[in-house]
Structure 1
Amino acid sequence: MSSVVIKEIAKYLPKVVKTRAEMRTHFAAVGASVDSLFDVGGRENHPYIEDYRHENTVTMATAACRNLFEKASWDLSRVDGLFFVSDSPEYTVPSNAVAVVHALGGGNDGSVKFVMDLNQNCTGLLSAFDMVSAYMKSRKDLKRCVLVSAFNSTHVSNPDDPVTYGFLTDGSSAVLMERIEEDGKGVIDSDTLIGTDGWELMSFPAAGYSRVFKEETDLKQRTLRWDVGPSGWIPEKYMEVLPGLLERNGLTEVDVDYFICSQFHEGLVHKTCELMGSSPEKWLFVSREYGYAGNASPAFAFEEGLNSGKFTAGKKVVWFSFGAGFTLSALLYQL
């Protein structure tokens, strides 16, 4: 039996990082106070693209891949497939994965056999990792693949909105996946939960693509609609999935070494930790330092676990996230 494991992981963040003080000044100009929001949500630093004419999801994803190859001492010629994950893509034609492969200097010699764009909003990276892992096990010519995720909040957010522009940031992560002939590693099991009531309350573009280019569509309708209200109910949804995921694998909370919850809101991380009866030291949250770059952020936390020495061989990690619509994805991963 084979397993698909994370061989290496890297990220890219824009060079411009706005501090809490700078964000406070920015929103004071529109009559909004953000300190209480940042306190409970867990925000200090906010990496942002400075100039959309020079940076976007493709350029960030390319930079993350280059950082990945540098860490792994690899290059694109050793990669069989590249999967791009984003809900703020630069293109729908061609696929952003093709654009990244081209930017990395490859794609014309046949070494990269498969590319695809994927999206499930904030749960995109987790579900894509689950799906690509299964696909790599069934397609034997895909031994090594890159899963790169990117989020460009500058492109989708209203700069006067503390929740979208204040809470969301820009960034990209790249994960090098490798199939090994060893059983019991990588994704051991996964689960999902889907709900569609109020799906339209969070949408981008707010007007839909059929209207976004029409003259009568104003800027607000071209950016991200965020009318979902308080999110305190989300940890209860996690509890509909996590205990069952562990139970069917013969595990309890005690058997899990680390949890990577959604990096969107630190308060929700603490609440879920309490509901699980867990120790806070087992829960990784990195958005105070890196901001929240949507689907890319769970990988920021996973990389932190590797770099800190916490994630060593044999450790069990549960990572899970929550996305618009809603979608909930959870993975049980064995290092």
Structure 2
Amino acid sequence: MGYRIASNIGIALGNIKLGNDYYLNQLDEANREQSRHFLRDIMGRDIRYIADETQTSLSLAIEASKKVIEENKVDIEEIDMVICISHTPEYVSPTMARMILDALGGGKDTVNCLDMNVNCTGMLVALDMADRYFKTDENLSKILVVQGDSNSNFNIEKGSPFFGCLGDIGCAVILERDDESGIQSRYFLMDKTMGMNIVYPKDGYSKPNPVLYTDPNLDARVDMGANLIAEKYDKEKIDHMKLICMSQFAYVNCQKYIEMSQIDAEKVPYIGDQYGYTGASSPILALKAGIEQGKLNRGDTFLLWTYGAGTQHVVLEMKY
């Protein structure tokens, strides 16, 4: 007893399309070429979309939700729960999930609406949470999971590895009750050595002028996640999986995993060059690309893997 992810994944992008040069031109000429190499070859950035003055994390979430409802031909009255993921919420009261539901037409009176922030693991944690809801409440039929983030709102210093790397996005999926599909196994791993390497606000909200702090020696510890996957899934099982949809934080991290696991590179989609790094939705965007490229069919298994603030890895083995 679980769910399947509906075929169409809805996204909404910021209205401002920016290339790397927009950010590189803000740097001293002496640092420009090194930063060009870092953005393009290490982080894998090319294009990202930034919200304009008419857009917010809420409006992006609403737009993505409308798209996923329409494209999957779902009636709002069928939605039993809305989970909104954001680390840049436009509102904290009422919940953004409630506001999204209102924007979609209101739905049933019994809908459960909740917001959550688990940094960049948010959508995967929401998928895990939804699975547990489906298994304990037989009345659930469909759950809307949506992320809305205006990552460009972070005050990022020019020396930070995040400078020029982020994109703004709304991303939504519909989860439909299904006895054959969904989560097959799940694993969580905490790196206790990296607890405060990405901190926002650096000095807490009680202090003025919030800034994103990033440890200059930031390391997402891809080896930890890769070793966890190798420990839990043998090579034959990994080879049987059609896609490995991992964090799109850095192109080199995807390449590092491909080399460590000796897996076919075609199974590890990279889309960080198309959207920038979008946080919680990045492995879902990789999944969307895999589906649209015809690499995943109903009944196939795939892996979702990401890490939040460089400290917590989440791995979900799923059946499509």
Same fold (TM over 0.5): yes
Structure 2, unpaired ranges of 5+: none
Question: 1:32 and 1:21, CA in 2 relative to 1: closer, same or farther beyond 3 A?
Answer: closer
CA distance in 1, matches of 2:299, 2:150: 35
Question: 1:74 and 1:253, CA in 2 relative to 1: closer, same or farther beyond 3 A?
Answer: closer
Partner amino acid, structure 2, of 1:114: N
Partner of 1:42: 44
Equivalent residue for 1:254, pick from 232, 236, 239:
239
CA distance in 2, matches of 1:223, 1:100: 29
Count of residues in correspondence between the two structures = 317
Tell me if structure 2 keeps the 8 A contact 1:150–1:296.
no
Tell me if structure 2 keeps the 8 A contact 1:154–1:170.
yes
Equivalent residue for 2:211, pick from 223, 229, 238:
223
CA distance in 1, matches of 2:93, 2:285: 28
Partner of 2:230: 243
Tell me if structure 1 keeps the 8 A contact 2:2–2:134.
no
1:127-176, Cα deviation, whole Å (9 max, x unpaired): 11111112122112221010001221111232635522311111121010
Q: What TM-score does the superposition give when structure 2 sets the normalisation length?
A: 0.92
1:5 aligns with 2:1: no
Give the share of equivalent positions with the same residue, in percent. Answer: 23
CA distance in 2, matches of 1:28, 1:276: 39
- Where does 1:1-335 land on structure 2 (aligned, <5 Å)? 2-7=1-6, 8-28=8-28, 32-33=32-33, 34-38=35-39, 39-51=41-53, 54-106=54-106, 109-110=108-109, 113-158=111-156, 160-161=158-159, 163-180=161-178, 182-183=179-180, 185-209=181-205, 211-212=206-207, 217=208, 219=209, 222-231=210-219, 234-247=221-234, 252-324=237-309, 326-335=311-320
Structure 1, unpaired ranges of 5+: none
Tell me if structure 1 keeps the 8 A contact 2:80–2:111.
yes
1:319 Cα deviation after fit: 1.2
Partner amino acid, structure 2, of 1:35: R
1:18-47, Cα deviation, whole Å (9 max, x unpaired): 012223223348955521112111100011
Secondary structure of the structure 1 residue equivalent to 2:120: helix
CA distance in 1, matches of 2:203, 2:148: 23
CA distance in 2, matches of 1:206, 1:30: 28
1:79 Cα deviation after fit: 0.8
Tell me if structure 1 keeps the 8 A contact 2:157–2:212.
no
1:74 Cα deviation after fit: 2.2
